[in-house]
Amino acid sequence: MGNGFCSHVLGFNGMVIILFVLISVVSGNKISEGGTKENHLPRHAVKSIQSEDGDIIDCIDIYKQPAFAHPALRDHKIQMAPSYEPTVETMAATSPAKTKTFKNRYEQSSMIVASQIWKKNGSCPDGTVPVRRFQNKGQLESNSLEAYVRNKPTHPVKQLNDDENPNSQLPNRSKAILLTLGYIYSGAKADIKVWDPSVESDDEYSTSRVSLQSGPYYDFESIESGWAVNPRVYGDKKTRLYVYWTVDGSKATGCFDLTCPGFVQTSNEIALGAAIYPISVANGLPYQINIYIFKDPNTSNWWMQYGEKINVGYWPHNLFSLIISGAESVEWGGEVYSLKLGQSPHTATKMGNGEYPDPIFGDSGYMKRMRVLDNSRILKFPEWVSTYADEYNCYDVYYISDYVEDPEFYYGGPGRSYKCP
Ligand SMILES: *[C@@H]1O[C@H](CO)[C@@H](O)[C@H](O)[C@H]1NC(C)=O
Ligand SMILES: *[C@@H]1O[C@H](CO)[C@@H](O)[C@H](O)[C@H]1NC(C)=O
Ligand SMILES: *[C@@H]1O[C@H](CO)[C@@H](O)[C@H](O)[C@H]1NC(C)=O
């Protein structure tokens, strides 16, 4: 994979031009009440669906989706389905001595897969993909580049002196994660409980996700997926399904969903960036999303699968140079982005549901069925894991592998609090 174009997938000019094209493609015309008047549809939209949460989902011809505006994908031949679906799973034998100790363990292990709000109001026909329309045009114009790119670090942030952790804090980001490394990974998976944490200001976000990474610490390539509350990208504070990728540690490249060309969508069932529904509430039913990112060994494209069966789409191998041969590390957990981290007053943006890890009732950020695919090509729990928190007084971690059938990971916190002033 040559550098040049790929190392900064979109130079600033390229990005602006492509965004401009994208805006004119997707922000076209106002939808009429019936929602399907063809002369009011944006270019390439076969149909539009008005969702009760205010979103408009355009069903775009699969061959004319935003990804193909990426110069590297101009002659891309779309892969309609993975040629390989690694579904075999082995688990370490559970010792009979392991007993259930927590009272609602059963409830937590039977979380319900959440859907998306727009699906109440229609579906996209075969041959199209659902694309969430940008509606906050003002916001898009005023921040066009920044809205899509995680901010560029100005100076490296202090290294944490924690010998155990091969990690250190990235600028303006606070993580609370479970981590594995030591192999080359070609897949990672988890069930992620869905919450709607409050995000203090519009330039901040809170995500819970699975992330695969390769490359040098401040210049890594990564692909990730999970749920996010990200007002700057989405224009509101709803919890949304997202995918994200970067090729330089988010310094100059980085894209959510289809907001810049790259991710190729193949499913007509799931819209990236659409609001998830229902959301878990404390003492209520536990809802989850279930994300599986895996590399197709025949094409080296990285697929994102939702809910165990829907192949939403893929990141084409030619977006990347390092991660195409596999990921060096996998992370599960939360990340908060804010300019008010590591200082007082700390941001009050929450991670998970804003509670510190709560293994008793599961009323906190919670993931289970963490899996990786290594060169054995068998989906399994990683041989080695470690937890890590940038600011454990603000966002903490709790990992349990004993006394449970399957390891569990709890994470999150309130941000600003008496422990995190
Ligand atoms: C994918 O690769 C496997 C071997 O890795 C091969 O058996 C299979 O036929 C390939 N499938 C396609 C569709 O190319
Ligand atoms: C969307 O579906 C809901 C539930 O079926 C319905 O109450 C609502 O009126 C629909 N909204 C639109 C804009 O069609
Ligand atoms: C990170 O936050 C500091 C203030 O704490 C700000 O000066 C800097 O621009 C931010 N860096 C990025 C990459 O956003």
Does ligand 2 lie within 6 Å of residue 50's CB atom? yes
**Can you tell me which residue has the tokens 């031009």?**
17
CA–CA dist 149, 205 (Å, integer)? 13
As to burial, measured by CB atoms within 10 angstroms (0-12 exposed, 13-18 middle, 19+ buried), residue 350 is buried
Beta bridge partners of 330: 180, 212
Q: How confident is the model at residue 390 (pLDDT cuts 50, 70, 90)?
A: very high
User: Which residue's CA is the closest to the ligand 2 atom numbered 13?
Assistant: 50
The set of residues, in sequence order, having a beta carbon less than 8 Å from that of 272 and lying 6+ positions away, is: 131, 132, 241, 242, 243, 257, 258, 263, 265, 312, 313
CA–CA dist 172, 254 (Å, integer)? 15
- Give the model's pLDDT for residue 419: 96
CA–CA dist 263, 317 (Å, integer)? 10
Does ligand 2 lie within 6 Å of residue 48's CB atom? no
Which tokens hold the place of 276? Answer: 């998830």
Does ligand 1 lie within 6 Å of residue 84's CB atom? yes
- Give the model's pLDDT for residue 168: 56
Q: Are the C-beta atoms of 108 and 368 separated by less than 8 Å?
A: yes
User: Which residue's CA is the closest to the ligand 3 atom numbered 3?
Assistant: 339
Q: How confident is the model at residue 88 (pLDDT cuts 50, 70, 90)?
A: low
Q: How confident is the model at residue 394 (pLDDT cuts 50, 70, 90)?
A: very high
Does ligand 2 lie within 6 Å of residue 52's CB atom? yes
Does ligand 3 lie within 6 Å of residue 339's CB atom? yes
Which range scores top for mean pLDDT: 43-52, 69-78, 165-174, 289-298? 289-298
Which range scores top for mean pLDDT: 3-12, 215-224, 366-375? 366-375
φ, ψ at 277 (rounded to 5°): -155, 135
How many residues make up the chain in this entry?
421
In the Cβ-directed half-sphere of 409, how many Cα atoms lie within 13 Å?
A: 29
- The ligand with the least distance to the CA atom of 173 is 3
Handedness of CA 246, 223, 314, 300 (dihedral sign): positive
As to burial, measured by CB atoms within 10 angstroms (0-12 exposed, 13-18 middle, 19+ buried), residue 151 is middle
Q: Helix (H, G, I), strand (E, B), or coil: what is residue 118? A: helix
| Ligand 3 atom closest to residue 152's alpha carbon, by position in its atom list | 13
Whether residue 396 has pLDDT greater than 50: yes
- The ligand with the least distance to the CA atom of 56 is 2
Does ligand 2 lie within 6 Å of residue 32's CB atom? no
In a mutational test of the pocket of ligand 1, which residue from 77, 79, 80, 83 has the highest number of ligand atoms less than 8 Å from its CB?
A: 83
Average pLDDT, the chain: 79
Digit-coded pLDDT (tens) for 258-293: 777 789 999 999 999 999 999 999 888 899 999 999
In the Cβ-directed half-sphere of 70, how many Cα atoms lie within 13 Å?
A: 25
Digit-coded pLDDT (tens) for 229-257: 999 888 899 999 999 988 777 767 777 87
- Give the model's pLDDT for residue 72: 79
- Give the model's pLDDT for residue 144: 37
Vertex 255: Cα angle to 254 and 259 (nearest 5): 150
How far from 26 is each of 19, 50, 155, 258, CA to CA, in Å?
10, 14, 36, 11
Q: Are the C-beta atoms of 261 and 229 separated by less than 8 Å?
A: no
Contacts 24+ apart (CB under 8 A), 15-20: 15/145, 15/148, 15/149, 15/260, 16/144, 16/145, 18/69, 18/70, 18/260, 18/261, 19/144, 19/145, 19/148, 19/259, 19/260
User: Which residue's CA is the closest to the ligand 1 atom numbered 11?
Assistant: 83
Whether residue 190 has pLDDT greater than 50: yes
Q: Which of 275, 209, 223 is nearest to 409 (CA)?
A: 209
Digit-coded pLDDT (tens) for 302-358: 999 999 889 999 999 988 888 989 999 999 999 999 999 999 999 999 999 999 999
Q: Determine the distance separating the centroid of ligand 3 and the alpha carbon of 196, expressed in angstroms.
A: 25
Vertex 166: Cα angle to 302 and 397 (nearest 5): 85
Does ligand 1 lie within 6 Å of residue 284's CB atom? no
Whether residue 180 has pLDDT greater than 90: yes
Q: Helix (H, G, I), strand (E, B), or coil: what is residue 53? A: coil
Q: Is the pTM of this model over 0.85?
A: no
Whether residue 130 has pLDDT greater than 50: yes
Q: How confident is the model at residue 220 (pLDDT cuts 50, 70, 90)?
A: confident
CA–CA dist 18, 66 (Å, integer)? 9
- The ligand with the least distance to the CA atom of 35 is 2
Digit-coded pLDDT (tens) for 143-156: 333 433 433 232 22
- Give the model's pLDDT for residue 159: 31
Q: How confident is the model at residue 87 (pLDDT cuts 50, 70, 90)?
A: low
Q: Which of 67-81, 96-110, 158-172, 303-317 has the lowest mean pLDDT?
A: 96-110
CA–CA dist 355, 344 (Å, integer)? 20
Element (H, E) at 291: strand 287-295
Q: Going by DSSP bridges, is the β-strand pair 112-113/287-295 parallel, antiparallel, or unpaired?
A: parallel
In a mutational test of the pocket of ligand 1, which residue from 77, 79, 84, 295 has the highest number of ligand atoms less than 8 Å from its CB?
A: 84
Does ligand 3 lie within 6 Å of residue 156's CB atom? no
User: Which residue's CA is the closest to the ligand 2 atom numbered 2?
Assistant: 121
Whether residue 23 has pLDDT greater than 60: no
Q: Helix (H, G, I), strand (E, B), or coil: what is residue 175? A: strand
Does ligand 3 lie within 6 Å of residue 151's CB atom? yes
* 87 or 411: which leads in pLDDT: 411
Q: Determine the distance separating the centroid of ligand 1 and the alpha carbon of 295, expressed in angstroms.
A: 13
Q: Which of 293, 329, 64 is nearest to 180 (CA)?
A: 329
User: Which residue's CA is the closest to the ligand 3 atom numbered 6?
Assistant: 339
Whether residue 40 has pLDDT greater than 80: no
User: Which residue's CA is the closest to the ligand 1 atom numbered 13?
Assistant: 83
User: Which residue's CA is the closest to the ligand 3 atom numbered 2?
Assistant: 339
| Ligand 2 atom closest to residue 120's alpha carbon, by position in its atom list | 2
Q: Which of 107-121, 218-232, 396-410 has the lowest mean pLDDT?
A: 107-121
Q: Determine the distance separating the centroid of ligand 3 and the alpha carbon of 149, expressed in angstroms.
A: 14
CA–CA dist 366, 358 (Å, integer)? 8
Does ligand 2 lie within 6 Å of residue 405's CB atom? no
- The ligand with the least distance to the CA atom of 152 is 3
The set of residues, in sequence order, having a beta carbon less than 8 Å from that of 248 and lying 6+ positions away, is: 7, 8, 219, 220, 221
- Give the model's pLDDT for residue 24: 34
